[in-house]
Structures are given as C-alpha cells and as structure tokens.
Structure 1
Amino acid sequence: MSLTVTSTGRPIRFSDTLERLGAHGGERLFLGEIVEAFGERAFGAVMLLFAIINMLPWPPGGTTLTGAPLLFLSAELAWGRDTLWLPHWVGRASVGRETFRKMSGRLMKLIRFSEALSKPRLFFLTGRLGQGLIGLACLVLSAILVLPVFGGNLIPAIAIGFFALGVMQRDGVAVLLGWITTGITGAVLIFAWTFVIAGFRLGLDWFGQVF
C-alpha cells in the first residue's frame, strides 16, 4: 500500500486531510467519508483517529464505546486485508463537523509534530507480516480499552497510536515504539492484577480475623 499523493507526487499529509475534512460542507462528518478521504492510508489513519479519541479522559465505561471500533479495525488488519472495509451501518456513524474541527484543531500541533518526525523506514516492520502482528497486538490492546477501568485507556491508546502512525507513514521506528508501549501495557496489567489479588487476600485475612 503506497501513500496517497498529490498531483505533484508528494504525499498528502494526515493533518492536511483532517483540515480538508473539517472544512467541507455538511453538518455531519461520516466515518465512511473519512475512510474515502484517506484512501490507501485508511487503516492507519482511522486507527490513529480512534486512538487519539481514546487518549482523552473518559469516565469508566466511556472507552467501551470509543474502543469498540478499534476491535473491528484491528481484526481486519490482523486478517491481512489490503484495504479497509466497513459495514454500511458503521460507515454511517458520524460526528458533528464543527465538533470535529474543534477537536482536530486542538490536536493539530501534536499531529504535525508527529508527522515531522515520522518517515518511511525499517520497512520490514510494516510489511504484510509486520502488519499482521500489529493487527493482533492492536486487537488485544483494543480489548483492554473496552474494559470499564478508570484511567486504563491511556497507555493502550498510546500504543495503538504509535502502531497506527507506523502503518500510515510506513515508519518502523513508530512501530517499535508501539511494541515497547505494548510491553509497558502488559507490565502495568500484571502489576495491577497482582495488586488486586494481594488486596483481596488481605481483605479475606482481615475478615477471617474479625469473625
């Protein structure tokens, strides 16, 4: 999959496409419109959008809805699809265009900074096998996102964001950062689970001593 390019042969930047989507007419921006706008980069671009959304502070259960589309996208990537396919009802999901403009505007500096640092490199990490492994990792990370755990969305969402940037820009360094952040996610989960088990056992011991 090559990058979408302009008539001059230069790649169209992710940030430019976001601005164009926000500037188009119509009160609602549909997910299908976003997929069409990014073309061959739709996998990485749409996953990056949802990763950014999931990095925002949500109340418990909020990422159950915002993380669910990433399960679908990750499964397709893991399956080895070259192009992103969405059911019609998913493609009709929409957000207010003004809301989209405001949200993307607030994140534009960060997005452009990421674009400036990323470039095609270490291509073996974003090849067919690499993307399949990325899809599997994102599938697990997305499953973690949909769990109603307060504050549990940030690290998995960052990992998916790195993976998505790597797929979109063919940047193996971003993919490596994604794998590192995935490892951190696993370590945090193990620590949290150990802490919960220890607290549960302590509670049982206290209960036994009292009664």
Structure 2
Amino acid sequence: MTLTETSTGRPRAFSDVVEMLGARDGSRLTLGEIVEAFGDRAFGPVMFFFALINMLPWPPGGTTLTGAPLVLLSMELALGRDTLWIPGWAGRASVNRQTFRKLSRRLLKPLHFTERLARPRLYILTGGLGQGLIGLACLFLSVVLVLPIWGGNLLPAVAIGFFSLGVMQRDGLAVLIGWLLTGATVAVLFLAWALIVAAVEHGLRWFGHLF
C-alpha cells in the first residue's frame, strides 16, 4: 500500500500525501521516496509536486536544478509510459526534510483550494493522445525552467502545475488552462527575444555613431 491509499484502499488527497512525506523520519527526503509514495500512477502527482517547487521565488539559476527532474518526467509522459521510472542516481537526489516541511506549509492552503475545484471532465484532453501532447508541452516548459532566466520560472511552472493537475484528476479544464498558459509562455519568450534583439541592434548603432 502506498501513501496515496488509506487502510481501506481509498485514495488520499495530494495535500495529505505531501504532509505525510514531511512528517516521516529521516533528515533527507529523496526523489525515490517521493515516487514510491505516489505509487504506479505517479506521473501527475510527482510532476505537480515539482511544479509547485518551481513556483517558489528562486534566485537566478535556482530552477536549473529544480526543473531538471521535470525534463525527465515530461519525456516519459510524452513517450506514453504507463508507470514512472527514474534512474538510480536521480532517485538518490534529496532535499532537507525540514526545509521541505517549511515549503509545504506555505503551499497547503492553495493546494486544498485547488483540490476542491478539480474533478473529472473533458476526458478527450486527458486521454492517451492528450497525455502525449501534454508531455511534449511540459517538456518544452521544463526546458524553459532549466534556463537561467531571472523571473522566468513562474509562468511555465504554473502551466506545468495545471497540466499535472489535469493528469492527476483527469480534469480536462485544468489541461485547457495549461495550454493557454503554454501559449502565454511562448508569447512572453518571443517578446523577450524581440526586446533583446532590439536592444543589441540599438547598442550596435550607438557604437557605430561613436566611431
């Protein structure tokens, strides 16, 4: 029996599993322990877990490490795997459990609110093809997270969070919101690139006038 089930076999809420992981003994919480806790259907919960971590205000480059597991998870989801697999070295990656407890307490209130809203609907968006497309979108978003862009973690992390919630609860509306946020992420990236190119061109012209 995994942490996602009660003694009677009924599923636990995601927020309850997060609290139980923090309450366990041991100074370190490993990725392998998280995957094991969520069991065979771990894609949605584990991706949602890392999406929440990446929504936190990290310093520039911080999401390079916290976003890396999402690259692997997204690739597996895009390839249509039924169960989540992680290599041994990744399973040994860990965080301080006390730090995890502090961070999870900050997230429990929005988690409870989200769980009350989510429910199965619009199944076509969470079926086999839908999950494959979600995996591709999350792969793109997780690569954006890994890039050391200041302030660039929030929008893709929230998008992955909605995609993960959709997979976890079979909620097509959450997936639809994830797609809208993915489009917004693409638009922001194009705008940022255009501004960078314009700034470089302006700088080159300015230097040209000087010399």
TM range (shorter): over 0.9
**Matched-pair contact (CA < 8 Å) for 2:74–2:138:** yes
Change (3 A) 1:75 1:154: same
Separation in structure 2 between the aligned mates of residue 188 and residue 91 of structure 1, nearest angstrom = 33
In structure 2, what is the equivalent of residue 175 of structure 1?
A: 175
Superposed CA RMSD in Å reads 1.3
- Cα deviations across residues 128-159 of structure 1 (Å, max 9, x unaligned)? 11110000001111111111110111111111
Alpha-carbon separation, structure 2, partners of 1:57 and 1:91? 25
Alignment correspondent of 1:155: 155
Structure 2: which 5+ runs fail to align? none
Give 2:146's aligned amino acid. Answer: V
The alpha-carbon deviation at position 6 of structure 1 amounts to 3.8
- CA distance, structure 2, for counterparts of residue 61 and residue 75 of structure 1: 22
TM-score normalised by the chain length of structure 1: 0.94
| Structure 2 counterpart of 1:15 | 15
The verdict on how the C-alpha distance between 1:122 and 1:8 changes in structure 2, with shifts beyond 3 A counting, is: farther
Unmatched tracts of structure 1, length 5 or more: none
Equivalent residue number for residue 50 of structure 1: 50
2:100 is the counterpart of 1:107: no
Aligned length: 208
Identity %: 69
1:59 equivalent to 2:59? Answer: yes
Q: Which residue of 2 aligns with 1:130?
A: 130
Divergent runs of 4+, >2 A: 4-11
Greater shift, 105-114 or 35-44, is seen at 35-44
For residue 41 of structure 2, what is the aligned residue in structure 1? Answer: 41
